[in-house]
Amino acid sequence: MHSARSWLVLINVVGAAAGVGAQEKPSYQAKTIAPGIQELVIQDESGLAVKVIASVGEDGVLLVDSGYKAHGEALAEAVKAFGKGAPRYIINTHSHFEHLGGQIAFGKGPVVIGHRTEALKYCRLVLEAFPGEPSIVDRVKELEQPAAAK
């Protein structure tokens, strides 16, 4: 027969084991770098800082880059805290995934601005989030054509 004390110890051990490996949801830390300009920072899996810049004004939010796709939900939460809704514009500085993946969290709403060389990579990313989206499928086919065929 087990005493109440031994059950309590067992419950504590099981409870502690359940918490082992549990990780907090990643979140962006916001820092004001100028009036209306926020630097949003999150750590990637290797501990490197991934930064997104947000311009927050009366007419809404503009983001410069959007971090990793895996951090999209955290970015959406950070932007939500500004009280201006989803970003109206997202500017992609270049096509590395740590710069453009998070924008998927905002769906089709924001206007995405970037260099034409990143268009195919971005369209493929959108297709992962919205499989079979006809306008994106057509755009990918168009972008995949050799330059001479256009």
> Could you read off the pLDDT of 75-120 as tens digits, one per residue?
999 999 999 999 999 999 987 878 888 988 998 889 988 887 777 7
Position 150 scores a pLDDT of: 52
Ordered alpha helix ranges (H), the chain: 4-19, 72-80, 97-100, 119-129, 134-144
Residues 114, 52, 104, 58: what is their CA dihedral angle, to the nearest 10 degrees?
Answer: -90
Quote the CA–CA distance of 135 and 75 in Å, as a whole number: 26
Go through the domains of the chain in sequence order and give each one's CATH number.
27-114 (3.60.15.10)
The partner residues of 41 in beta bridges, in order of sequence, read 29, 51
Tokens 């309590």 appear where? 8
Position 121 scores a pLDDT of: 76
Range with the poorest average pLDDT among 8-12, 20-24, 63-67: 8-12
pTM, entire model: 0.72
Position 42 scores a pLDDT of: 97
Sheet holding 49-57, edge to edge: 29-34, 37-43, 49-57, 60-64, 89-91, 111-113
Judge whether 56 and 84 are in contact, CB under 8 Å.
Answer: yes
